[in-house]
Homo-oligomer: A and B are copies of this chain.
Amino acid sequence: MNDHSFSKAEKEALYKAMAQRRDMRHFNSEPLDAKTLDKILYAAHLAPSVGLMQPWRFIRVKNSDLRKQLHAIVNEERMKTAEALGERKDEFCRLKVEGVLSCSDVLIAALPDKREKHIFGRRTLPEMDLASLSCAIQNMWLAARAEGIGMGWVSLFEPEALKKLFKMPKGSHPVAILCIGHVDEFYEKPMLEIEEWAKTTPLDEKVFEDYWEE
């Protein structure tokens, strides 16, 4: 406890949002109200960014034809990923990996063009722009969970296909299809753990002292 510390209840609320946040693929048909979506977007805008460049852009996909074309792009990459997975192909195909058509709202999250002018904190690590955008998306995920809303980050797509579909400029880069909407329930554990796709590993295997220990 110190002067700047939040109250016990406030801390608990924050840790609860982190612990109960899930990467959702199952949505119900209830539409999301615009005010809640605005709150989620506002959370993104509170994120930190390298050199204060705020490299986040969001496209709200309202047109249903566009959404169908987006889904086709995701499905194509789903099949290519299945092939690339070799012996785990069938297992992968049984997973629900996206909710593009069933969720209430779809947002494309992307890095803008003309990022090369931002040098501060990026001279040796240009990918810090993606790091900033990812922090913004984590804020959205937590805000959505607190609002009782599910969100899923889909990265199964060919970036060039998305850029063409949404008329994005040459130097921009889409990194997420965010599926957002009401859910019947949040998964108890990460869905890929429930489906036994992958196991989580303990934190203490990931923390070293002074030198890399693996």
Alpha-carbon separation in the docked complex, A47 to B131 (Å): 14
Task: Across the interface, name the chain B residue whose C-beta is closest to A45.
Answer: B203
B48 touches A157 (CB 8 A): no
A41 touches B203 (CB 8 A): yes
A128 touches B146 (CB 8 A): no
Q: How far is the CB of A175 from chain B (nearest CB, A)?
A: 7
A10-B16, A52-B190 are contacts. A5–B147 as well, Cβ < 8 Å? Answer: yes
Alpha-carbon separation in the docked complex, A133 to B47 (Å): 15
B138 touches A4 (CB 8 A): no
- Is A100 interfacial (CB 8 A cutoff)? no
Interface size class of A (residues with CB under 8 A): 35 or more
- Is A72 interfacial (CB 8 A cutoff)? no
- Is A102 interfacial (CB 8 A cutoff)? no
Residue among A47, A135, A185, A192 having the largest count of chain B Cβ atoms under 10 Å: A135
A43-B18, A123-B77 are contacts. A6–B52 as well, Cβ < 8 Å? Answer: no
B124 touches A166 (CB 8 A): no
Alpha-carbon separation in the docked complex, A134 to B121 (Å): 15
Task: Produce 1/0 per residue, A128-172, CB < 8 A to B.
Answer: 101111110111011101111100011111110000001111001
Task: Across the interface, name the chain B residue whose C-beta is closest to A162.
Answer: B124
Q: How far is the CB of A119 from chain B (nearest CB, A)?
A: 5
- Is A75 interfacial (CB 8 A cutoff)? no
B52 touches A212 (CB 8 A): no
Q: List 6 A-B contacts (CB under 8 A).
A: A6-B146, A9-B10, A15-B43, A15-B46, A130-B131, A169-B212
